[in-house]
Amino acid sequence: MPFKIIASQCTSCSACEPLCPNVAISESAGRFVIEPAKCTECIGHFDEPQCVAACPVDGTCVIDTSLPRYQAPS
């Protein structure tokens, strides 16, 4: 279950983008999106998902439940 950004809430502040350890977040035409295939939910990197912890608008970086949970490589 990667994280996704709710576009209508995002202020395009760019706080999340440089923090993602997997370079999963990118900007195009002023909008920030998370590429689901790259998001590891920050597991193995940090205690908290970096995009969620840094985003000033609560409830903007949320889990996308329609996709399977990330499996940390064993």
Partner 1 sequence: MNAVVGHGRYVEGSLDKMMRPTAEHRGCGTSVNTGQASCRSRAAHGELPAEIWEKVKKHPCYSEGAHHHYARMHVAVAPACNIQCNYCNRKYDCANESRPGVVSEKLTPEQAVKKVLAVATIIPQTTVLGIAGPGDPLANPEKTFKTFDLVAKAAPDIKLCLSTNGLALPDYVDTIAKSKIEHVTITINTIDPEIGAKIYPWIFFSHRRYVGIDAARILTDRQLQGLEMLSERGILCKVNSVMIPHINDHHLVEVNKAVKSRGAFLHNIMPLISAPEYGTVFGLNGQRGPTAQALKALQDACEGGVNMMRHCRQCRADAVGLVGADRGSEFNIDRVMKMDVKYDPEMRKAYQEKVEAERAAKVAASRAGLAEFAGEMSEITVLVAVATKGSGLINEHFGHAKEFQVYEISTSGAKFVGHRRVDVYCQGGYGEGERLSTIIRSVNDCHAVFVAKIGGCPKSNLISAGIEPVDRYAHEFIEKSAIAWFRSYLEKVKRGEIQHAQRGDADIRCGSLISAG
Q: Summarize as ranges the residues that interact with ligand SF4 (CB under 6 A).
A: 2-3, 5, 10-16, 19-22, 24-25, 32, 34, 39-42, 49-51, 54-55, 57, 60-61
Could you give the angle at the alpha carbon of 20 between the alpha carbons of 18 and 25, nearest 5°?
80
d(CA 64, CA 47): 19
Q: Which is nearer to partner 1, 30 or 73 (CB)?
A: 30
For 29: left if phi > 0, alpha if psi spans -120 to 50, otherwise beta; the answer is: left
d(CA 19, CA 3): 14
Q: Which of 1, 43, 53, 62 binds partner 1 (CB under 8 A)?
A: 53
Q: Which of 6, 7, 9, 69 binds partner 1 (CB under 8 A)?
A: 9
Q: Which of ligand SF4, partner 1, none has residue 47 at its interface (CB below 5 to 8 Å by kind)?
A: partner 1
